[in-house]
Structure formats: C-alpha cells, structure tokens
Amino acid sequence: MLQDEIIKLKKEKDVVILAHNYQLPEVQDVADFIGDSLGLSRQAAKTPNKTILFCGVHFMAETAAIICPDKKVLIPDLGAGCSLADSITVEQLRDWKKQHPKALAVGYVNTSAEVKSELDYCCTSSNAVNVVKAIPPEQEILFLPDMFLGSYVAKMTGRKNMYIWAGECHVHAGIRSEEIHTLLDSYTNSELLVHPECSCTSQIMYDVAVGDYQGRQVQIMSTEGMMNYAKQSAGKNFVVATETGILYRMQQQNPEKTFIPASRSAVCQYMKMITLEKVHAALLDEKHEVRVSKPTADKARLAIERMLAIS
C-alpha cells in the first residue's frame, strides 16, 4: 500500500512529514505532526531529521526553509500556492513602507519569503493579537496582507494607528455570515468556531458586541486553536467556519461530537494539490526542494524569530 511505502521511505531517508490541518485525510494519516502555521513552524525549528517534507502550501514550506537553513525542505507540489500570500508583492510592500516611513510592518505568515524579508514582525492567526500588543501603543503599524485578520486584531487591541492591507483569502472570504446564521438556527445548541481570515469575522464581532449571540459560545481562533477548543469544550455540536479539511481530524479526535462546516464549498484547492501519490513521489526522488536565498532568509528569519519569542 502507498501509505506503508511512505512510512517505510520516511524512516529510511530520515524525513519528518509535517502536514497542515487542511490536508487531505490520507495525507494527514502519514504525517508525523499535524497543526497550524505556528505549530508547524515550531516543529520545523526543533526537528532532528535532516529532511522536512512539508505537506501544506508553498509559503509554509518556505517558512520552514527560512527557520532551518541546514535542512532540506521538500514540498510534494511546487504549485501549491495561496491566494492570500499572492495579494501582496515585495514591490508593493516597499512602496507602502515608503508612504509610512515611521510605521513597523507586521505581516501574516501567509506571505512570500521576499515579503517576509521586509517585515519587522511576522505573525500567524494564533498569535497576531499578542504580536501587535507587544508593540508600543504609540507606534504606527502596517498590517498585511489579510484585511479581516487585520480588522480583528485592531478591534482586539483597540489600536487606531494600524494601516491594513486590503488582501483576502478567497476560501475564507467566501464563508458568509448568512450561511452561518441559517446553520445556527437549525443547530440551536451549537457553538461557533471562526477563523479570523473569514469575511464574516468583522460581522460576528459586531454581533457579539450587540448581543446577537447571547448565550451562544463564539470563538475566533487559528485552526489549532479550534482543535484544542473542540477537545476541551463540553459542547456537543460545533459550526466550524474555516477550510473543511480540518473536520477530519476534529471528528477523529472527538467521535462523540458533531462538527458542521459553515460552508461545504470552503475548500482550498492549493492545499488539496498535495496528494498521497505526490507525497510518495517527493519522498522517492527527494524532490521538490524549496530554497530561499541566504540574504532573503537571513532578513526574513529576524521577523519570524521575533514572533516566536513573543508567542
């Protein structure tokens, strides 16, 4: 079986397989670690294996390559991109910084290595609020590239001096609050878990503030935050507003609970480009290596290390 072959090959070749929560079930099943962007960066940083096979999208593998310059980082498909990471180029960021010379640049991990090399701080969905809180309140901030995560962070920190880039993830932007309302009406006892990249996040924060969700638990968190919350909550039904790949592991870890996707069409086609066949081929031929040039990696690493030190 292909799965057995992969497990044998990764041992023989001293490879660790890291997989994001949105990966296909069969890919998650062969992984050594599954998690969110922050958790996988941390795993990459401490892995003893000489090669990392990253089952996720390109910016995640690049982040691992930046953190671990002495290791070989492979991705099963180099074409696995990210619409959010594509929403800002390094030239656009340089221009933006010129317009606000006193501001610090805080960028989501969903960015290219080149963009990261122009950042002061990196952040992920699980630590964006803490990273911004660690910056003196009078300091202007450029937050990029996700506008929904940006407005969530601005709201949670009460900052008025944050400029937010107008980027979005097409998968999360497509999850509508109307769909969520309909589901919550049919599952009256359900809790709601929302990823801060969702376009409905701003709407939900408003609703929470005016009391629309009175008596109903609402959590806005990263994918791994959702995993942990689902496990420890006494709730039985959860409406989950993020990419549907997360439901496999959630259901596996909590067989007695029910997880309802906020939108069945919230599927990231980039994440799904990583198939078991491509994982096998990548291991067999030790391809496709993700490389970041030393000058870019050295600059980008500073922003990532600042983030890791805070969270």
Cβ-based nearer residue to ligand SF4, 17 or 135: 17
Alpha carbon distance 100, 102 (integer Å): 6
- The entry of ligand SF4, ligand 13P, none near residue 37 (CB within 5 to 8 angstroms by kind) is ligand 13P
Contact 268, 171 (CB under 8 A): yes
Q: By CB under 6 A, tell whether 36 contacts ligand 13P.
A: yes
With CB under 5 to 8 Å by kind, the binding choice for 270 among ligand SF4, ligand 13P, none is: ligand SF4
Do you know the residue count of the chain? 311
Which letter does DSSP use for residue 206 in this model? H
**Per CB under 6 A, 169 contacts ligand SF4:** yes
Q: Does 87 bind ligand 13P (CB under 6 A)?
A: no
Per-residue binding string, ligand SF4, 122-141, x by CB under 6 A, is --------------------
Among 83, 125, 222, 223, binds ligand SF4 (CB under 6 A): 83
Tell me how far apart the alpha carbons of residues 284 and 274 are, in angstroms, rounded to a whole number.
15
Interface stretch with ligand SF4, choices 38-46, 118-126, 203-211, 263-271 (CB under 6 A): 263-271
* Under rule CB under 6 A, residue 19 binds ligand SF4: no
Q: Which residues contact 229 (CB under 8 A, 6 or more apart)?
A: 193, 219, 221
Give a three-class secondary structure readout of 238-307: EEEECCCCHHHHHHHHCCCCEEEECCCCCCCCCHHHCCHHHHHHHHHHCCCECCCCHHHHHHHHHHHHHH
Q: Which pairing describes strands 141-144 and 104-108: parallel, antiparallel, or unpaired?
A: parallel
Cα–Cα distance, 209 to 61 (Å, whole number)? 38
Return the structure tokens found at 89.
């180029």
CB of 193 to ligand 13P, least distance (A): 11
110 binds ligand 13P (CB under 6 A): yes
Of 271, 276, 290, 300, which one interacts with ligand SF4 (CB under 6 A)?
A: 271
272 vs 127: CA distance, rounded Å: 26
Question: Nearest CA to 191 among 250, 90, 260?
Answer: 260
Q: Is 88 in the site for ligand SF4 (CB under 6 A)?
A: no
Stretch near ligand SF4 under the rule CB under 6 A, chosen from 91-99, 157-165, 167-175, 224-232: 167-175
Nearer residue to ligand 13P within complex by CB, 43 or 125: 125
The answer to whether residue 21 forms part of the interface with ligand 13P (CB under 6 A) is yes
Among 66, 84, 204, 297, binds ligand SF4 (CB under 6 A): 84
3-state helix, strand, coil split of the chain in percent (to 5) is: 45, 15, 40
Question: Is residue 41 part of the contact set for ligand 13P (CB under 6 A)?
Answer: no
Q: Which is nearer to ligand 13P, 182 or 228 (CB)?
A: 228
> Rule CB under 6 A: which residues touch ligand 13P?
21, 36-37, 110, 124-125, 169, 197, 222-223, 243
